[in-house]
Structure 1
Amino acid sequence: MTPLAARLHAALPQTQCTRCGYPDCRSYAEAMASGEAAHNQCPPGGAEGVHRLAAILGREDIPLNPGNGHEGPRTLAVIDEAWCIGCTLCLKACPTDAITGINKHMHTVIEPYCTGCELCVPVCPVDCIALENTTGARTGWAAWSEADAAQALARYEARQQRLKREELEQAERLERKAEAKLADLQAHTHGAEGDEADRKKRVIEAALARARARRQQQS
């Protein structure tokens, strides 16, 4: 990240909501620094956020782009636990690991860690997640603090590291599994011979190549 992108990134609320049109706050900061994105695409930051970004970029204040959303109060995701089916889709969508639960069991939101990003709402297949206003009439940065932003960023980065570690571990497991099959091809091809044995060997070799490529990408 360039120094300019780093300054812009530090000025964002770190909700990781993607409403700016980018996958996370860092990507949006880098897009602004390169001139790809305007500085009025962050609804959680609101008008004050646009002002902060404009000052860093040396540009004028402009209204928040309504195409990205509207400034509003801080919200908290609340799961109607009576309707939750434990699908885990909201866990996968949450950028700060603010939802806890396991498959086919009730999920719940860890309130201090929820950024109100809204990403959990559309993925819920039973529509059991609602957003509650937690700051009344306070909106944008008036409803959010530097400490909130720092915590959200720390949790997001920790989650990214966890996902990367899990991807690497999965790739290593698949690689070991494919290597074991190649080492004892006769047993794993169930006595197949000729063309069928060759076909199964190619399938295992292809799986091994994919696993190795995946591991190298995650390393």
Structure 2
Amino acid sequence: MIAPPPADARVAQLDALLPQTQCRRCGFDGCLPYAEALAAGRSAPNRCPPGGLTTLAALAEALGQPVPAPDPAVWPDDPALPLDADQALLPTVAVIDENVCIGCFKCVLACPVDAIIGAPKYLHTVLTDDCSGCELCLPPCPVDCITMVPRSAAQTPASAMASRWRSLHQARKTRLARERESRDEARRQRRGELLAVQAQGYDIAAAIARARSRKSTSPP
């Protein structure tokens, strides 16, 4: 079951303006938390490099604020990370070098849109059309087998992927919550079984103690 959209209309409006890359460059755990922070006045609208100046201006307008300059703390100044004419990060996708991949599974766990598939100790691959270019898979890779390449013309344009990425991210959060609930339930069940065994042990010990007491007080 996919998580429902935010109930707050203002948050939903701001979230709809974001590119949904879920990259966390803004300092929040995804686009929706950033939209919530904007609506609450806890952040500024100039912290979304993937959205570029157009998104910055749209967020400022929605908030009724003057358009600020991009925040240098999050806007890249690395020449290896080229910006387009809108000062937005150029759309990229992750590619895994299968000759180097050791199947550690860490990139799968890091992907916010479940665009990497694979199993532990097996090679992984990227569903490149679903990849949001967030780069969150790069830091955990212990063998540096992942590179970011430009999104090809044959793929769906990043500008048309926001709804898809939002849906994938929400579905992932729902799945993770369901898995946590399942693990918690399993732990509760194991704890209940352990307590039952302990209680049974106490009952047996008490019965043995009563039998010994009766034996010791019985006449010879």
Which residue identity lines up with residue 135 of structure 2 in the other structure? Answer: E
1:152 corresponds, among 162, 165, 172, to 165
SS in structure 2 at match of 1:177:
helix
Measure how far apart 1:5 and its partner are.
1.7
Backbone CA RMSD of aligned residues = 2.2
Name the structure 2 match of 1:40. Answer: 46
Structure 2 residue 83 is matched with structure 1 residue 83: no
Identity rate, percent: 42
Deviation at 1:72, TM superposition (A): 1.8
The 3-state SS of whatever aligns with 2:163 is helix
Per-residue Cα deviation, 1:146-170 (whole angstroms, up to 9, x for no partner): x300000000000000000000111
**1:84/1:126 contact within 8 Å kept:** yes
CA distance in 2, matches of 1:155, 1:179: 36
Where in structure 1 do 4 or more consecutive aligned residues deviate above 3 Å?
Answer: 186-189
| Higher Rg of the two aligned structures | 2
Kindly state the Cα deviation for residue 188 of structure 1 after the two structures are TM-superposed: 8.7
Q: 1: CA distance between counterparts of 2:199 and 2:162? A: 57
Q: 2:89 aligns with which of 72, 75, 89?
A: 72
Read off the aligned partner of 1:28 and give its amino acid letter.
Y
Displacement of 1:144 in angstroms is 2.8
Structure 1: 5+ residue runs without aligned partners?
Answer: 137-142, 194-219
2:189 pairs with 1:176: yes
CA 1:20/1:160 → structure 2, altered by over 3 Å: closer, same or farther?
A: same
Q: Which residue of 2 aligns with 1:26?
A: 32
Aligned length: 185
**Equivalent position of 1:49 in the other structure:** 55
Secondary structure at the counterpart of residue 129 of structure 2: helix
Q: Deviations over 1:161-213 (max 9, x none)?
A: 00000001111111111111221228899x9x8xxxxxxxxxxxxxxxxxxxx
Q: TM-score, normalised by structure 2?
A: 0.78
What are the ranges of 5 or more consecutive residues in structure 2 without an aligned counterpart?
1-5, 77-87, 206-220
Going from structure 1 to structure 2, the CA distance change for 1:129 and 1:188 (only over 3 Å counts) comes to farther
Determine if the alignment matches structure 1 residue 4 to structure 2 residue 31.
no
By how many angstroms is 1:4 displaced?
Answer: 1.7
